[in-house]
Amino acid sequence: MRFGFFTLCVLALATKSGHAAQSPKIPALVMTSPDSADANYEDKCSNGGNLDKVNRDKFLKLMLADKKSKLSQLKVALLNEIKQSGDEPRGEGVRIGEWNQTFHDRSGCGTNANSYSAFVVTVTGGNANHTVVKYLVTIDDDDNAGKRTLKLRDIHPINLRIDN
């Protein structure tokens, strides 16, 4: 009983003093092209832990900010399409939905191949209010022994419905 109490006291002190295990540091993301990036993680055998949302979100923001990126060019083209239709964009006019994992393959503790997909939607206001899914965007997010590679895989048009 004394040993258990002693162990709990030591763990409590270690946690409060900052000596407990800390979350791994998220490394810098380096764009290697307008549509791809790399990050090097310390943990070479993370069991998927290197696939953090922080760097995935940063990758998407950097692609949208780069005029040479296919995702950025798509957004500009869709905004032009809205303007040419005579309608007004509502909010940003083009939104990228929630990202969902659409592929996962893990080989051992340090190799993961993953894809994430999201809908690209146009939203217009004015007399008519239209929300239309236009494209499905897929990115790859792979980890090979600590080297994480993110890249745009595909932008696929979707024609769900056309109203006259």
3-state secondary structure of 72: helix
pLDDT-based confidence at 75, cuts 50/70/90? very high
Please check whether residue 62 lies inside any domain of the structure: yes
Range of the domain at 121: 22-157
Tell whether 115 is covered by a domain: yes
pTM: 0.77
What is the mean pLDDT of the segment spanning 65-87? 94
Per-residue pLDDT at 27: 74
3 part of a folded domain: no
Q: For residue 52, what are the contacts with CB-CB under 8 A and spacing of at least 6?
A: 26
Count the domains in the chain.
Answer: 1
